[in-house]
Amino acid sequence: MYIYDKFDQTIVRERVAAFRDQVARRLAGELDEDHFRPLRLMNGLYLQLHAYMLRVAIPYGTLSSAQLRRLAYIARKYDRGYGHFTTRQNIQYNWIKLEEAPDILSDLADVQMHGIQTSGNCIRNVTADHFSGVAGDEIDDPRVTSEILRQWSTFHPEFSFLPRKFKIAVTGAAHDRAAIKFHDIGIQVVRGPDGEVGYAIYAGGGMGRTPVVAPLIRGYLPKAELLSYVEAILRVYNRYGRRDNIYKARIKILVREIGAAEFTRQVEEEWKLIRTTGVNLPAAEEARIRRFFAPPPYDTIAEPVASLTQAKAASPAFARWIETNVHTHKVPGYAIVTISLKPPGGIPGDASAEQMEAIADLADRYSFAEIRVSHIQNLILPNVKQADLFAIWQALGKIGFADANAGLIGDIIACPGLDYCALANARSIPISQAISERFADPARSAEIGPLQIKISGCINACGHHHAGHIGILGVDRAGEELYQITLGGAADQTAEIGALIGPGFKSADAVDAIERIVDTYLKLRQPGEEFLVAYRRLGQAPFKEAAYGRA
């Protein structure tokens, strides 16, 4: 993974000092809240219902074991012993004191971490495929691109006061595990006509109040021209994105209002003027960054691995976990492990300090000291030997994270909702808990197969409900929490926005409605047909009728 040099370290250190100065000025009254808010947000510090919340960046989802241990330490020292992994490869702490925030950032800087640009109207933490570097279907490691973008976007003099927040995601494979089409800019590594590696560029996607699947604005961009092209997009957006209405300020509205073709024309016109002005990264610097993402020293291992075969035969529960939570690694004899942070009845994405430390230990012992964070709110051990899988599974069982549900109905994305969030209209977590308990039986959930449920507690859609196969949006109707259901959303390369089935359900009825939808799928599916495929074949009608009890 990328290791800071003295310049990266200096920037983060100076940022801590600058923020300490800003906090002191705020507490002394030199800065009022209106002028302080953007400054604290650009360090990831929000004010939520119960306290300040600190959002720490985990750039493109890659963590070292030492960093994860530091996150645990911060949870224990400054918070209440836990953290929440989010849909944007960040971790959030919920009980932060403003006066301690500079110390926390200083402790983070010790391990090359920060909260820089995890909030505010600026270029946010760049996210990437959580299987980067280990997936067999990858053309190029998207973390190289992401790190280039991280440095370019950090304290950008021109783009730190954008009309609204700006999110970039990168995938290195045709199979999109980073939901790139729901981002302000989605970048996909592709091969050009000559076989060279470059990018396909999508722009103007997003969720929120106006969900949009990003249009492709450039089919092939030479790799070396990444920064000038992205800068051209940002410049057009910074100049012409709407600033009169916060709900219309995202780039997706600009793209929609002037049309993708006109937007693209403006970007290309701007790009022509800056292509050769020194914005692009020199090849030597790209090569320097790339070296940090070289593969670790893998052993040569023959497959099949006998001990794994035996352990699967001996334990059906282990075999089921292998089936769902272990993924094909590009190197023979190795595997990728998804650690589900979704125990039935649990809070999606939450991990205690003890759990984080246990996972850091596992990474040290079995995964070259590296951990990934997925936008699905799980952790990943990206580089484990298949022969070690049984030991890892047993160790995860001891911390309550051995559930065999990755990608299944219990693997729910949920935003913090009204339990924590000042913007929420309804709670998300209790609905998630009720659903994961209802479908807790591993055999039943395996029978249902891949099914993504995503829950948001307000229209901002941090829980990605628009992209859920089953999406749930909590709303407030005259003081009562109601839950609207959407069906048919997808976050991958077949990205689609789910369609609302009708009026919302009371919290007690929502889970029953979900169950009736699932039962209808089981009844109507063809052999081996996954939920989303069946939904696309059948349309909404049978599911809608079932949800409202009319089937």
Partner 1 sequence: MAVLNLAPGETPVARPDPWVLLADGEAPTVGAHVIVPFARFKVEHNELLAKAAAVGVAIGGADVVEELAPWVARLQLVLLQFGVFKDGRLFTSARLLRERFGFRGDLRATGDFIPDQAVFLLRSGVTSLEVGEAFPVETLARVVRAYSVRYQRALDPQPVIIDQRLQGNGA
Partner 2 sequence: MPRDEIEPSAVSAGRRAGRAAVGGKIATANRLRDGVVVYLDAAGGWTTEVAQARIAHSSEDEQALKAALDSAVRANLIVDAAVIDTRAAESTPARLREQIRAVGPTVRPDLARRKPL
List residues binding partner 2 (CB under 8 A). Answer: 26-29, 32-33, 47-52, 80, 94, 96-100, 345-347, 418-420, 422, 424, 427, 429-430, 433-434, 437, 477-481, 507
Neighbours of 295 (CB within 10 A): 12
Tokens of 144: 């190289």
State how far the Cα of 316 lies from the Cα of 337, in Å rounded to an integer: 18
In the list partner 2, partner 1, none, the entry touching 52 (Cβ below 5 to 8 angstroms by class) is partner 2
CB of 281 to partner 1, least distance (A): 7
CB of 341 to partner 2, least distance (A): 14
Residue type, 368: F
Under 8 Å between Cβ of 183 and 169: yes
CB of 221 to partner 1, least distance (A): 19
CB of 106 to partner 1, least distance (A): 15
In the list partner 2, partner 1, none, the entry touching 121 (Cβ below 5 to 8 angstroms by class) is partner 1
CB of 46 to partner 2, least distance (A): 9
Q: Contact between 39 and partner 1 (CB under 8 A)?
A: yes
What is the SS3 string spanning 96-119? ECHHHHHHHHHHHHHCCCCCCCCC
In the list partner 2, partner 1, none, the entry touching 420 (Cβ below 5 to 8 angstroms by class) is partner 2
Exposure of 438 in the CB half-sphere (CA atoms within 13 A): 20
Q: Contact between 288 and partner 1 (CB under 8 A)?
A: yes
Neighbours of 551 (CB within 10 A): 14
Q: Contact between 284 and partner 1 (CB under 8 A)?
A: yes
Segment interacting with partner 1, rule: CB under 8 A, options 271-279, 416-424, 435-443, 469-477: 271-279
User: Looking at 26, 30, 438, 515, which residue binds partner 1 (CB under 8 A)?
Assistant: 30
> Cα 278 to chain center, whole Å?
32
Measured from the CB atom, the residue of 150 and 252 that comes closer to partner 1 is 150
CB of 168 to partner 1, least distance (A): 16
In the list partner 1, partner 2, none, the entry touching 427 (Cβ below 5 to 8 angstroms by class) is partner 2
Exposure of 400 in the CB half-sphere (CA atoms within 13 A): 15
DSSP letters for 47-83: E-SSSEEEEEE-GGGEEEHHHHHHHHHHHHHHSSSEE
In the list partner 1, partner 2, none, the entry touching 27 (Cβ below 5 to 8 angstroms by class) is partner 2
- Identify the residue whose tokens are 């961009």: 221
Enclosing H/E stretch for 518 = helix 507-524
CB of 284 to partner 1, least distance (A): 6
**Is residue 240 packed enough to be buried (19+ CB in 10 Å), middle (13-18) or exposed (0-12)?**
middle
Strand pairing of 453-456 and 470-477? parallel
CB of 498 to partner 2, least distance (A): 25
CB of 128 to partner 1, least distance (A): 19
CB of 205 to partner 2, least distance (A): 30
CB of 507 to partner 2, least distance (A): 7
Q: Which residues contact 460 (CB under 8 A, 6 or more apart)?
A: 207, 208, 209, 423
Q: Which residues contact 512 (CB under 8 A, 6 or more apart)?
A: none
In the list partner 1, partner 2, none, the entry touching 161 (Cβ below 5 to 8 angstroms by class) is partner 1
218 phi/psi in degrees, rounded to 5 = -150, 120
User: Looking at 194, 245, 277, 527, which residue binds partner 1 (CB under 8 A)?
Assistant: 277
Q: Contact between 154 and partner 1 (CB under 8 A)?
A: yes
In the list partner 2, partner 1, none, the entry touching 18 (Cβ below 5 to 8 angstroms by class) is partner 1
Among residues 502, 494, 489, which one has the least CA distance to residue 463? 489
The CA-atom distances, in angstroms, between 21 and each of 9, 154, 377, 467 are: 19, 19, 34, 41
Tokens of 290: 């790339």
Measured from the CB atom, the residue of 84 and 466 that comes closer to partner 2 is 84
Residue type, 364: D
User: Looking at 73, 78, 155, 368, which residue binds partner 1 (CB under 8 A)?
Assistant: 155
Q: Contact between 272 and partner 1 (CB under 8 A)?
A: no
CB of 195 to partner 2, least distance (A): 52
In the list partner 2, partner 1, none, the entry touching 154 (Cβ below 5 to 8 angstroms by class) is partner 1
Segment interacting with partner 1, rule: CB under 8 A, options 27-35, 402-410, 488-496, 521-529: 27-35
Tokens of 276: 């050769």
In the list partner 1, partner 2, none, the entry touching 433 (Cβ below 5 to 8 angstroms by class) is partner 2
Measured from the CB atom, the residue of 29 and 193 that comes closer to partner 2 is 29
Among residues 272, 266, 202, which one has the least CA distance to residue 239? 266
Q: Contact between 27 and partner 1 (CB under 8 A)?
A: no
Q: Contact between 460 and partner 1 (CB under 8 A)?
A: no
Tokens of 351: 């991990």
Under 8 Å between Cβ of 381 and 319: no
Under 8 Å between Cβ of 61 and 130: yes
Cα angle, residue 133 at apex, residues 168 and 92 outer, rounded to 5°:
50
Segment interacting with partner 1, rule: CB under 8 A, options 67-75, 231-239, 257-265, 331-339: 231-239
Q: Contact between 257 and partner 1 (CB under 8 A)?
A: no
CB of 273 to partner 1, least distance (A): 7
**Is residue 523 packed enough to be buried (19+ CB in 10 Å), middle (13-18) or exposed (0-12)?**
exposed
> Residues touching partner 1: how many (CB under 8 A)?
44
Question: Helix, strand, coil % (nearest 5) of the chain?
Answer: 40, 20, 40
Tokens of 390: 């049984």
| Contacts to partner 1 by CB under 8 A | 5-8, 10-11, 14-15, 17-18, 21-22, 25, 30-31, 35, 38-39, 121, 151-152, 154-163, 235, 238-239, 243, 273, 277-279, 281-282, 284-285, 288
